[in-house]
Amino acid sequence: MDAPAVARKAQAGQFVVIRIDEHGERIPLTIADWNREEGTVTVVFMEVGTTTHRLARLGTGDSIADFVGPLGLPTHIDKFGTVVCVAGGFAVATIMPIARAMREKGNRVISIMGARSKDLIFWEEELRRVSDELIVTTDDGSYGRKGLVTEPLLELLQSGTRIDRVIAIGPSIMMKFAARTTEPFGVPTMVSLNPIMVDGTGMCGCCRVSVGGETKFACVDGPDFDGHQVDWDLLLARQRSYLDEEKLSFGQWEAQEAGSSGTKA
């Protein structure tokens, strides 16, 4: 994405809010990479609803109405010692700049990336380059190690290796279990929350999450929070707020797509 103003200030862990066109919704997408000289920003997303499906159909030279950012607080980067970066699914894109920044700061970085199956694996080499060690898992065993990312994470913790910090990013359910895995070991675990947002600047409170019993706005107080303090069930429930509407909107889009490709053919 050509967005020089965003590229100039982007930092690991921040996000943008995008809107495709006049009729579109505003959705947050995490910044995966940037090039300050060229003024470009990379985002990686999964096709889940109307907006992301439409976004995926755009190509080089296309433009969207709005690309706002960088929003949210950057990930806290410091020299911790050994940092384990855990990425589930397409969050490998989100963890990349964090792992890179952690390594540049002098940490030993162990990365774990997991996907459902081999064909959903991407940026493996990119992540390997910025990690001292990389473990790849797939749910179905079609590539790397069979199993969930929490399994090698648990083994690392049990092996007696000193781990000073864990960064876990991915679907909420994966982050929840990653945080549960590290909790008995007392290893500080940061997660990047992805609740539904509208403005992304602290104005509406749609993205409120409960952390340590306190309500926080993920868009301005986060998106990174202490994974051991997050009320995961609340987050998961709030993410389901508009399931019916999302289905309706997506069904309508699919029907339209089918109609227009039909006429083209």
Q: Give me the residues that bind other proteins (CB under 8 A), please.
A: 5-6, 8-9, 19, 23-26, 50-51, 65-71, 198-199, 201-206, 208-210, 215, 220, 233-234, 237-238, 240-242, 245-246, 248-249, 252
Task: State the minimum distance, in angstroms, from the CB of residue 189 to other proteins.
Answer: 22
CB closer to other proteins, 46 vs 204: 204
Task: State the minimum distance, in angstroms, from the CB of residue 192 to other proteins.
Answer: 17
Query: Do 21 and 65 contact (CB within 8 A), yes or no?
Result: yes
CB closer to other proteins, 79 vs 237: 237
CB closer to other proteins, 58 vs 204: 204
Task: State the minimum distance, in angstroms, from the CB of residue 93 to other proteins.
Answer: 21
CB closer to other proteins, 74 vs 188: 74
Pairing label, strands 15-19, 27-35: antiparallel
Task: State the minimum distance, in angstroms, from the CB of residue 9 to other proteins.
Answer: 6
Task: State the minimum distance, in angstroms, from the CB of residue 248 to other proteins.
Answer: 6
Task: State the minimum distance, in angstroms, from the CB of residue 53 to other proteins.
Answer: 11
CB closer to other proteins, 188 vs 202: 202
Which residues make beta-bridge pairs with 110?
84, 133
- CA–centroid distance for 222 within its chain: 13
CB closer to other proteins, 73 vs 154: 73
Pairing label, strands 133-138, 108-115: parallel
